[in-house]
Amino acid sequence: MEYLIHIAVLISIYSILGISLDLVLGFTGLLSVTHAAFYGLGAYATAILLTSFGMNFFLAVLLGIIVSGVIALGFGIVLSRFRDDFYALASMGFNTIVFSVFLNWQSVTRGPLGIPGIDRPSLFGFEFSENIFFLILCVVFATAVYFISRFITNSSFGRVLLAIRENEEAISVFGYNTVFYKLLIFVISAMMASVAGALYATYVTYIDPSSFSLSESIFILAMIIVGGLSNHRGAILGAVFVILLPEVLRFVGFPTDIAAQMRQLTYGVLLIAFMLYRPKGLVGKYEL
């Protein structure tokens, strides 16, 4: 039972990441490969505030959201100067920079040693120490992110985002400041990702830079490609798929000396098959 709860917690956390990234990539068409950076910013901000200052978890989450939003605003202004492939490359560079800060700013992040002893959240004296209660907390946050995202995409703001995806020049002719819209949704997405980071940090009670590298951003990107772009349910399905698939492959019975490599190979082949034969993902509206 604990194993199933653990899987459900991970699916909830990655659903937040998937939904938030889909706002940028699926609805706006911006190929951002930097989501793990904001995921990590939320995790480190929460971990530092909890371990060094004894702050309440929910207040730490709020401050982590603000920190991620401010950094996303600054970087988003730089990113707004790029288009298409250059946008993706610049976002990859930012992820690398943030990862390097996590790794080398040892006086704050403890570098490769990471930050241990992160307390589980508590609310009015009730501690979410048991995994089942932590799962409920994750589901509440994931549900809130889902409905906030639905509100955004169903609003006039969301319709402008879709128009930017289809033809940015055309929507500019009608007087819309597309740079502002792209910047705002980038900041909102980053703030949502920081919430997932806060949940992850307090769930595993330990973080280190390896969890927020460029490969993690690519993993999150693969998740929404599998689930389908521009569909919140697709982001959730993608999270279920990419979390469950490696677990299922554990029971296939590969020889122990090559089991890890064979699982990775099978995982990669299935992702390639999706790109070739199901480019819209499971329930997506657009191709990448």
Q: Read off the pLDDT of residues 96-125 as tens digits, 9 standing for 90 and up.
A: 999 999 999 999 999 999 999 999 998 888
- At residue 253 the predicted structure's pLDDT band, cuts being 50, 70 and 90, is low
Q: Please give the average per-residue pLDDT across 150-172, as a whole number.
A: 90
- How far are the Cα atoms of 25, 49, 161, 167, 168 from residue 173, in angstroms, in the given order? 22, 46, 15, 10, 9
Q: Please give the average per-residue pLDDT across 19-37, as a whole number.
A: 92
Q: How many angstroms separate the CA atoms of 6 and 52, rounded? A: 27
Who wins on pLDDT, 264 or 135? Answer: 135
Q: Please give the average per-residue pLDDT across 232-261, as a whole number.
A: 80
The pLDDT of residue 129 is 86
**Residue 250 pLDDT > 90, yes or no?**
no
Q: Please give the average per-residue pLDDT across 254-276, as a whole number.
A: 72
**Residue 279 pLDDT > 90, yes or no?**
no
Contact present, 113 and 208 (Cβ < 8 Å): yes
Q: Please give the average per-residue pLDDT across 9-16, as a whole number.
A: 96
pTM greater than the 0.85 cutoff: yes
Q: How many angstroms separate the CA atoms of 229 and 226, rounded? A: 8
Q: How many angstroms separate the CA atoms of 46 and 204, rounded? A: 13
Contact present, 227 and 284 (Cβ < 8 Å): yes
Q: How many angstroms separate the CA atoms of 4 and 182, rounded? A: 38
Q: What SS3 class is residue 29?
A: coil
- Which residues in 105-171 belong to E strands, given as ranges? 122-123, 126-127
Q: Give helix 2-25 / helix 131-154 axis angle, nearest 10°.
A: 20
The pLDDT of residue 280 is 79
CA 143, chain centre distance (Å): 15
Burial-class residue 119 by CB neighbours within 10 Å (0-12, 13-18, 19+). middle
